[in-house]
């Protein structure tokens, strides 16, 4: 069938919205009519050539929609189901999946260059994170389309597919924040605000948000941070405020300097969790002697998610009024205005621009 997608051809040209060809869903695949897709910072990195994407490509990996066709053998969803797209294939067969670490599934691909259901003028289109959801319709493995119930609007549901799961899961699953603990969150974009909400819902006693932009610090306070501060002097400030270091620090920026800060601001025996996407060239150096303080430094991908079970839980928390997704939606724009939305995301003060279809 024909569908409409936003194509990125190079780092220095605007995306073009074009009619493209989409193959029918094959065995184990579903076709989803996309209703909303967030513009994530990883999409901006991909446009800039800092991700494993081959142009021409279709980006977009934070989407919600409705199942409108099933391939052979699909039983997990039905036509008409509302779904949130996940970017782990959760193949169910590789060693990480068999262990239960589906966020580490070995079938996870940032790029599907040279294969996949999408083509344009006879040439295959790459799909970022094997989704390519800046498109009116996508064909994906059924394991990447997670059915959700409740009345969550698509403009909020889509955020569960990347920012919310990543941040919320970093706090609640990777760091496993316990009630009463102190949690510092460095970087208060969409992921950081979701981490703050995860810490709040886990029962953190104190949540210290750190960000240079005043608007984001306010959003952090609205998300449940108990205090918000500028990065200047933040390490000493957190150590002083917590009487020796935070129990947990979550880094949502993606720079070695802020990762060091996270490690330095936790108490002996504390946990520093790196969520931010660093460049391949960046190197993190820590004095190994500090590891003798039993500090833990760990990464977190996709908030250690199992999307099939975690996405419905996040929707339930939202429906109960405990998880505020609305706060993360900085602006909603029609799909046709994708280039304007990308420019606004680059400007930096909006948490998320969400596109509707
Ligand atoms: Zn993302
Ligand atoms: Zn797997």
- CA 100 to ligand 2 centroid distance, Å: 9
- Residue-wise pLDDT for 89-108, tens only, equals 999 999 999 999 999 999 99
pLDDT band of residue 51 (cuts 50, 70, 90) is confident
User: Domains in the chain, start-ordered, CATH in brackets?
Assistant: 2-147+324-356 (3.90.180.10), 164-301 (3.40.50.720)
* Contacts within 8 Å (CB) and 24+ apart, 287-295: 290/263, 293/268, 293/269, 294/268, 294/269, 295/263, 295/266, 295/268, 295/269, 295/270, 295/271
Burial 60-97 (b: 16+ CB within 10 A, else e): bbbbbbbbebbbeebebbeeebbbbbbbbbbbeebebb
Ligand closest in space to the Cα of 62: 1
146 phi, psi to nearest 5 deg = -100, 120
- CA 301 to ligand 2 centroid distance, Å: 14
| pLDDT at residue 98, rounded to an integer | 97
Ligand closest in space to the Cα of 161: 1
- CA 91 to ligand 2 centroid distance, Å: 4
Ligand closest in space to the Cα of 141: 2
Mean pLDDT, the chain, rounded, equals 96
Q: Are strands 353-356 and 331-334 parallel, antiparallel or unpaired?
A: parallel
- CA 172 to ligand 2 centroid distance, Å: 22
- CA 101 to ligand 2 centroid distance, Å: 8
- Residue-wise pLDDT for 198-211, tens only, equals 999 999 999 999 99
- CA 341 to ligand 1 centroid distance, Å: 15
Task: Tokens for 137, please give them.
Answer: 């319709």
Residue 318: name the closest of 190, 198, 204, 209 by CA: 198
DSSP symbol at 8? B
Ligand closest in space to the Cα of 95: 2
Ligand closest in space to the Cα of 306: 2
pLDDT band of residue 278 (cuts 50, 70, 90) is confident
| pLDDT at residue 329, rounded to an integer | 95
Nearby residues for ligand 1 (ion, Cβ within 5 Å):
40, 42, 162
- CA 221 to ligand 2 centroid distance, Å: 38
Residue 113 in this model has a pLDDT that exceeds 90: no
Secondary structure class of 234 (helix, strand, coil): helix
- CA 11 to ligand 1 centroid distance, Å: 18
By annotation, the residues acting in catalysis are: 40, 42, 45, 61, 162
- Residue-wise pLDDT for 114-166, tens only, equals 888 999 999 999 999 999 999 999 999 999 999 999 889 999 999 999 999 99
Nearby residues for ligand 2 (ion, Cβ within 5 Å):
91, 94, 97, 105
- CA 162 to ligand 1 centroid distance, Å: 5
């Amino acid at each position: 069938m024909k569908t409409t997608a936003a194509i990125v051809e190079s780092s220095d040209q605007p995306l073009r919205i074009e009619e493209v060809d989409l193959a029918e869903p094959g065995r184990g695949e579903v076709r989803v009519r996309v209703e909303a897709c967030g513009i994530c910072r990883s999409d901006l990195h991909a446009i800039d050539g800092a991700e494993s994407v081959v142009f021409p490509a279709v980006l977009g990996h934070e989407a919600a929609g409705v199942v409108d066709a099933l391939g052979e053998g699909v039983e997990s969803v039905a036509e008409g189901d509302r779904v949130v797209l996940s970017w782990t294939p959760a193949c169910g067969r590789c060693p990480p999946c068999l262990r239960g670490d589906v966020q580490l599934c070995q079938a996870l691909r940032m790029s599907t260059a040279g294969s996949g259901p999408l083509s344009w003028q006879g040439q295959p289109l790459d799909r970022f994170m094997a989704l390519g959801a800046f498109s009116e319709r996508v064909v994906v493995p059924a394991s990447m389309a997670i059915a959700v119930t409740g009345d969550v609007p698509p403009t909020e549901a889509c955020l569960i597919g990347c920012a919310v799961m990543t941040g919320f899961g970093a706090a609640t699953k990777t760091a496993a924040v316990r009630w009463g603990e102190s949690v510092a969150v460095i970087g208060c974009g969409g992921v950081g605000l979701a981490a703050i909400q995860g810490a709040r819902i886990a029962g953190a006693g104190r949540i210290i948000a750190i960000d240079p932009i005043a608007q984001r610090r306010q959003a952090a306070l609205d998300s449940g941070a108990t205090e918000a501060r500028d990065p200047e002097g933040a390490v000493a400030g957190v150590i002083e405020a917590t009487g020796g270091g935070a129990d947990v620090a979550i880094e949502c920026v993606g720079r070695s300097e802020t990762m060091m800060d996270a490690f330095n601001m936790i108490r002996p025996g504390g946990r520093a969790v790196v969520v931010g996407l660093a460049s391949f060239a960046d190197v993190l150096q820590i004095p190994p002697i500090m590891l003798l303080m039993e500090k833990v430094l760990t990464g977190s991908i996709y908030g250690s998610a199992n999307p099939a079970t975690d996405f419905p839980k996040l929707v339930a928390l939202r429906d109960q009024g405990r998880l505020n997704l609305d706060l993360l939606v900085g602006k909603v724009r029609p799909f046709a205005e994708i280039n304007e939305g990308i420019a606004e995301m680059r400007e930096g003060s909006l948490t998320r621009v969400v596109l509707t279809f």
